[in-house]
Amino acid sequence: MTIESATSIVARWIKGVPVVVNATAPILFFEKLNTTDDMSVIHFASGQINISNALDITAASTDLTCSFSGGCPFDVSAKGLSTLLRGDPENNFVTICDRKCIFQDDDSTDEIAQCLVPQVSTTYSDENFKIAVPSEDLKSG
């Protein structure tokens, strides 16, 4: 965010404008904490400009080849999705085979969100690679 003057602030989202269903006016908060009595003073402002950015997935990785142990990068093309995934990872995530794909903030941009494919437990992978098979291999001490 850049404060350009007493009446003008420019906001830039590095990972894209957040995904919102309905047009929303951004709210700017300034908070000053008074350390002597732990009281804070909050000032806020709302602009007259609304932003909107409905989730629009335009592409995703295709013909992806990955082992059952996962770890391969998976790309989803959607403006602002990276901001959404980074902002609230508990409620916003990509799933592959009902498992969370691990968001990669450093490798994501404003138009492409990248995550790592999780381990995939199938009957075949359990039998041959022990992906999700209980084990008695624990050692004490």
Tokens of 9: 């602030």
- Hey, what are 115's tokens? 């995550």
Q: Could you tell me the pTM of the whole model?
A: 0.64
Return the domain boundaries, the chain.
2-53, 59-128
Helix, strand, coil shares of the chain as percentages rounded to 5?
Answer: 10, 35, 55
Angstrom distance (rounded) from CA 19 to CA 24 = 10
Q: Find the DSSP H helices in the chain.
A: 81-87, 123-129
**Amino acid identity at 51:** I
Per-residue pLDDT of the chain (141 residues; tens, 9 = 90+): 677 787 777 777 778 877 877 777 777 777 777 767 667 777 777 777 777 778 889 999 998 888 878 899 999 999 989 998 998 899 999 998 888 999 999 999 999 999 999 987 778 777 887 767 666 665 665
Question: What contacts 24+ positions apart, CB below 8 Å, involve 133-138?
Answer: none
